[in-house]
Amino acid sequence: MGLFDRVLKGADEAREAKRASGAPPGGAPSGAGKAKYDEVSAPGPGGEPQRMSRQQFENLPLESRVRLLVQGTLRFYRDGQEIPATEAMRSAY
């Protein structure tokens, strides 16, 4: 069994344990509130900021997301206010 398979199996087991315990469904623990970010800004082809929703950002290939994060070119927003990338990523997964 490869690493990816083990991660998926662990996630399935955690989800099943949460369901059995009666915890609320979804990735956020009870009382965690809403998502830490709802919008992302990244440099577009001409260098001008290009905004995208959280879902659009998370649908980008992982390699692209990591590259943008490492380059430090992403800006994260919650309710129109910029937040630190560390805060946004801490809650994302």
Which pLDDT band holds residue 5 (cuts at 50, 70, 90)? very low
Residue 51 and residue 59 in contact, taking contact as beta carbons nearer than 8 Å? no
Which pLDDT band holds residue 88 (cuts at 50, 70, 90)? confident
Give alpha helix (H) positions in 1-93. Answer: 3-21, 54-58, 62-71, 85-92
Higher pLDDT, 18 or 61: 61
Prediction pTM value: 0.58
Six token digits for residue 74: 């992403």
Across the range 14-26, mean pLDDT stands at 62
Kindly tell me if the per-residue pLDDT of 22 is higher than 60.
yes
In this structure, of 34-38, 43-47, 84-88, the range with the lowest mean pLDDT score is 34-38
